Structure formats: C-alpha cells, structure tokens
Amino acid sequence: MTVMANQVSAKQVSGSVLAASDWRTLRERHRARVDELVGPYLRARRRGVKHPVIDFLFTYYASRPAHVLRWHPGFGIVLADAEIYLDLRGYHRVDGGVSVDPDHLRSRAGALRTTEALLQATASRPARLGCFGLHEWAMVYRTDDTRHNVPLRLGAAGTDAVVDAMGLRCTHFDAFRFFTDAARPHNEVELTRDRQIDDEQPGCLHATMDLYRACFSLAPLIPSDLTLAAFELALRARELDMRASPYDLRALGYEPVPIETPSGRAEYVREQAAIAERGAVLRDTVARRCSELLASIEP
C-alpha cells in the first residue's frame, strides 16, 4: 500500500455517497491487508503471547488492534446502509446514510491544530541520520534491568562500552525519557517535553512511528487508508529499531544490524533514510489532511 495510491482513492470518493457494496469491499480489503501484515501476531496476542518488537505499537501507544483493524472513510464521506457505524463515536445519521458528525470535528479542533503544528515543525528540518538507534542501548546502559526478556547480544559490559565509545544523539523526547539516569548526560542535548516541537526531526525512527498515533487518535476524521499506511511504516521502523538494538532477536527471525561496526552503521543509515523518505510523504499527507479539516470549520 502506497501513500500515493491512498491519496487517489480518497480523492475519488471525497464528498460522495458510498454504496454498501463499495464501502464493504474497501473495509474487507483493509482488514485483509492488516491480516497480511500482523495477522499471526494478533492471533498469538489473543492467547497472551508477548512479542518484544510488535507489542510496542500497541502497548507504548496505548493502541488497540481495533484502531488499525477498523475501517473509517474519513470526514465528508457518506456510507449508505451503514447503521452499524452509529454505534461508533463521532458518527451521525444524514440523508443517504451515515457520516462523521461535524460536531465531532469541531470537538477535535485542538488536537488537529496540535498535530498539524508538530508535523509541520518536524518536516521543516533536515533529516538527521547519525543516531544509529542508540536510544535502545541508552535504556539499558549501566543497569541490570533490561526492558525485554531477551538476551543482550554483547552482554551488559559490551553494551555499556558501545554507548561510552559512540555517545548519544537522540532528538526524540519520548525515547530520551526512558534513558537510564547514567545515560542521560551522554546525550548531546537535554531533551524536555516543552521543547519537543523544537527538537523533532524527520530522520528519527520514533518521529516516523508517531505518525501512526497521529492517525488513529484522529479517527474517524482521518481515513483508515492513512492509518494503515502509517501503521505499516511504523512496523517497518520498529523492526529496524529493534534489529539495531542491543538485544539478540535472531530466535524471532530478526537479523541484527550491528551498529557497533562500520558496516552495521552504514546499513542502519541506508534503512533509516529509506524510512524517512516514506515518512516525509506520509507526514505531509497527514498534515495537509489536518489543515483541510481545520479549514472546513474555521473562517
């Protein structure tokens, strides 16, 4: 699924009434794509099986599988014969079917402005690609309390030595806040929540993953093709995040990106740059969607 394809499909149905057969087809395609991406994980999750890579997208973001599984057309689209949507927050009955309530849009104006401002500020800066994913190393620096029940590839002493040798250049507060007390002074900047809008930059894997939260938190205003595109990209970013981490995840099928070596750092930067490129397109799309929604309620 590409952002370009999503934009075209959204434009084609904007302001129209979708027949029941059409929106149900779109909904089933959406669910099939989610199942293709994480179906086995979701089924294992229902059995209580934990996953140190994918769990993050649901636990850290306080997300539920329904956030990515449920299909929404987005604000301005009428769904014919869609009474089931009246049980969901933000919908109301209109001539021809069901659509997102303008009152719900107005109630979310503050969230739209905050999201738009953060995304535009992030997009305004050049991508920095020299962090090498060391935030995960900083979270276990000089402590025996690891965050996952997975062995460290280099052991505790080897992990600490990498941080000591390479230093930390994290720009994302929500990663920085999980650094150990011993690691925080090693970061080149002391990050704070108040300065988040000033420090975010588009090369950061976590800034790209946060696009998923931006989308699902604005549902049903945001069409689910954008939420799914953001989830898919967040999944890719999270996989790189953990492959470059100090953890040994080979038993789960994740080959490490050994950022303690020159070749590993080069591999990380290549993959980080590709994710940032896709993130830039998606970030612009979501920011413009926020702007359009705000324009519809503000003079």
Q: What is the pTM of this model?
A: 0.91
pLDDT at 149: 85
pLDDT at 297: 87
- On whether the CB atoms of residues 153 and 132 are closer than 8 A, the answer is no
Q: Which helix (H) or strand (E) holds 93?
A: strand 91-94
**What number of residues does the chain have?**
299
pLDDT at 299: 57
Residue labelled with tokens 């979270």: 139
pLDDT at 15: 59
- On whether the CB atoms of residues 13 and 77 are closer than 8 A, the answer is yes
pLDDT at 2: 39
pLDDT at 37: 95
pLDDT at 197: 94
- The residue ranges of the chain whose pLDDT is under 50 are 1-14
CA 258 to chain centre: 24
What sections of the chain are H helices per DSSP? 3-13, 20-46, 56-59, 65-69, 102-107, 109-123, 135-138, 155-166, 173-176, 196-199, 205-217, 224-243, 262-295
pLDDT at 30: 97
Calculate Rg over the CA atoms of the chain.
21
Q: Dihedral of CA 168/174/177/178: which sign?
A: negative
Secondary structure string (H, E, C) spanning 150-181: CCECCHHHHHHHHHHHHCECCCCHHHHCCCCC
pLDDT at 13: 38
pLDDT at 14: 47
pLDDT at 166: 96
Query: What φ, ψ does residue 187 adopt, rounded to 5°?
Result: -75, 145
pLDDT at 6: 37
CA 133 to chain centre: 16
